[in-house]
Structure 1
């Protein structure tokens, strides 16, 4: 069943802009500087978490000025819904990262179920070290694991339902240039 496009358009029209395109781009540039300083000599395998991490990865990767291997993985709890369920692997990594540093790039650290499961998977599969870069870290006390923190964070975010820069509302608006909060959510 496809979404009601009038509703999808209304969500954008009524949304609150939390971060403009320029603010997001500046945050990504700052993250890249730190990652370049800390990971340039690690020869990492970088995994883009699909679909949410696609836009963020596409913006971040050209700013990383060191050799890396790039791949992707696809694990989700949302399946175009607004609340998460069980973790579902759509595509596990196909590149070997045994005894290598891994950098996982994802759109958001919300409750952390998905990112935590991906980190655990990488450790169990033989990664030497697992690093995480998220565009947004949502500020609330519902984290699945209190110790789960991203190594690199672009922007903090209030506890609202957000979309843009890879994050979606019911499968839509991943392409929004900025980070927006849904009215009333």
Structure 2
């Protein structure tokens, strides 16, 4: 995709949530999740690259003690369809053993990536693992057993981008949440 194609994709896309609507949803998400996490001294793991925007938003809204680290695990590798295997680019450096871990990611779609990251944290001895995402997609193909603990918004079963979510490695910085046109 070229920058010109990215501009055209954004121009033609359907805006599902404006910047203001997303920020309000993140406010509510931070309040709900803080009630559960505030006394747990969590290790908060941001999933790169998609989770970076939500992670930043939550860190500025949460006022309880925590440690922060990141990981980079993907199935997409810049494409619009994920492969079967989770590809690790970076694992957390902070010890997970005995910790409450909070995974912060952009989207729950098929759930395979999130499920793999949760399994990794459990294998490393996490006491409890919570998942927080910006959007939960209404994906009829997702195993109903795969869920998240906290989601800010719901989106239809369309390809979405913005606020950390990409379209062919572009548009993570779109000022809202958009769905690709004609999908």
CA offsets 1:49-105 (integer angstroms, 9 cap, x no match): 000000111111111110000000000011110100121000011100111100000
Matched, 1:177 2:175: yes
Partner-residue secondary structure (3-state), 1:63: coil
Alignment match, 1:155: 153
Aligned 1:1-185 pairs, distance under 5 A: 3-85=1-83, 86-143=85-142, 145-185=143-183
* Two-structure CA RMSD over aligned residues (Å): 0.8
Give unpaired runs (5+ residues) of structure 2: none
TM-score in terms of structure 1 length: 0.96
Deviation at 1:141, TM superposition (A): 1.6
TM-score (ref. length: structure 2): 0.97
Q: Distance in 1 between matches of 2:2 and 2:61?
A: 37
What is the alpha-carbon distance in structure 2 between the residues aligned to residue 139 and residue 167 of structure 1? 16
Residues of 2 paired with 1:164 and 1:71: CA distance? 23
Matched residue SS, 1:12 = helix
Q: Distance in 1 between matches of 2:66 and 2:173?
A: 26
Distance 1:41 1:5 in 2: 45
Indicate the SS of the match to 1:127. Answer: coil
Runs of 4+ off more than 4 Å: none
Alpha-carbon distance in 2 for matches of 1:165, 1:113:
21
Residue 180 of structure 1 aligns to a residue whose secondary structure is strand
How many residues in Structure 1 have an aligned counterpart in Structure 2? 182
